[in-house]
Amino acid sequence: MTMVESLNAALDAEMTADDRVVLLGEDIGTTGGVFRVTADLLKRYGSLRVIDMPVSEAGTVGMAVGMCLAGLVPVVEIQFDSFAYPAFQQLVSHLARYRWRTGGSVSMQAVVRLPFGGGIRAPELHSDSPEALFCHMPGLKVVCPSNPLDAYSMLRWAIRHPDPVVFMEPKRLYRLNRAWFNTMPEIWDGWSAAIARQGSDATVVSYGASMHESLAAAELLEQDGISVEVVDLRSLWPLDKSAIIGSVQRTHRLVVVHEAPRSCGVGAEVVAMVAEQAFESLRSPVVRITGLDTPFPMFSLEKEYIPSSELIASIIRKALFK
């Protein structure tokens, strides 16, 4: 299964399990979405549960808030990362705060699926990585799978979770690789990070598409005799602090890798948290390998922008093991 297929399977499973689950978004019906994540679901569940919306991102997220008030479980697809911006007020002033605004009484059991990131040669404003915005704004949970298995188990968790979840889908991984599984994976616990690779010399914390670069970098470093542990965050807010700290306590070195711009990114938070809570374990300066604090470039340059496995390996080599 590709990630597109496993996400589709997760939606299908939850729609069968719970008829309160409805999907809404632009072009998700007849076409199955621009990435085909909702393929065939219109046919299976009808147009009252798979809703092609007018081109109104704010109206769509607002509609989801109202659906939650009525006890439905909306799953919104935003077509591309940067088209979450017109819905920003609904996401952060309403979806994130509505339970709080009702004195804790009404669940915003909603998922906002957000295909994000570069690497697919997409036009301008189709390659942003805005996850940190949602980590910073209180009231949302933010998660990001790095492989088809997790995509399945995490999306099923997100739909069942009583609080609003921003579900970041790394576009670059949609069809990148396949996972074979005979039985579908279990539903995620909703917060735990995964040790994707064990190692002893440094901890690399990453998520989403950057996980693949980080793992490839670990392979490269292994050839130099450097053993790197790679932690896949999965949950970007809240962080699985004990997994991160546990790893740093073993390796004493911390590197974070992501594609989003650096300043006030998820990497900053991971570093700050460790510098507060596991400072004594650190033996050398931490290292962030991230996108630049400049707009995501026109796509001919995207490979230069996105941290590659070679870059990651070379920085780790120079910074920590020279």
Ligand X SMILES: Cc1ncc(C[n+]2csc(CCOP(=O)(O)OP(=O)(O)O)c2C)c(N)n1
Q: Which residues are catalytic?
A: 126
Q: CB under 5 to 8 A by kind: which of another protein, a second copy, ligand X, none does 160 bind?
A: none
Give the relative orientation of helices 266-277 and 241-251 as an angle to the nearest 10 degrees: 70
Site for another protein contains 216 (CB under 8 A) = no
Site for ligand X contains 79 (CB under 6 A) = yes
How far is residue 125's CA from residue 148's CA, in Å, rounded to a whole number? 25
Task: Give ∠ CA 89-151-196 in degrees, rounded to 5.
Answer: 115
User: Within positions 247 to 306, which residues make up the interface with another protein, using CB under 8 A?
Assistant: 261-263, 276-277, 287-290, 292-295, 297-302, 304-305
How many chain residues interact with another protein (CB under 8 A)? Answer: 93
CB 146 within 8 A of CB 207: yes
For the bound state, the minimum distance from the C-beta of residue 289 to another protein, rounded and expressed in Å, comes to: 4
User: Within positions 92 to 151, which residues make up the interface with another protein, using CB under 8 A?
Assistant: 93-94, 97-107, 121-126, 138-139
To the nearest 10°, the Cα dihedral for 167, 174, 13, 234?
Answer: -40
How far is residue 118's CA from residue 128's CA, in Å, rounded to a whole number? 7
Return the range that interacts with a second copy (CB under 8 A); candidates 1-9, 66-74, 96-104, 177-185. Answer: 96-104
User: For the chain, how long is the longest CA-to-CA vector?
Assistant: 60
In the complex with ligand X, which residue's Cβ is closer, 55 or 301?
55
How far is residue 147's CA from residue 211's CA, in Å, rounded to a whole number? 9
Element (H, E) at 205: strand 202-206
Site string for ligand X, 30-59 (x = CB under 6 A): -------------------------x-x--
Site for a second copy contains 101 (CB under 8 A) = yes
Site for a second copy contains 244 (CB under 8 A) = no
Tell me the DSSP string of 82-114.
GGGGGGHHIIIIIITTHHHHTTT-S----EEEE
In the complex with ligand X, which residue's Cβ is closer, 79 or 281?
79
- By C-alpha distance, which of 72, 194, 207 is closest to 142? 207
At 217, list the tokens: 């970098």
Q: Which of 8, 38, 82, 251 binds another protein (CB under 8 A)?
A: 82
Sites of contact with ligand X (CB under 6 A): 26, 55, 57, 79, 83, 86
Sites of contact with a second copy (CB under 8 A): 58, 82, 85-86, 88-89, 92-93, 96-97, 100-101, 124-125, 130, 132-133, 135-139, 237-238, 260-261, 263-269, 271-272, 274-277, 279-280, 282, 284-288, 292-295
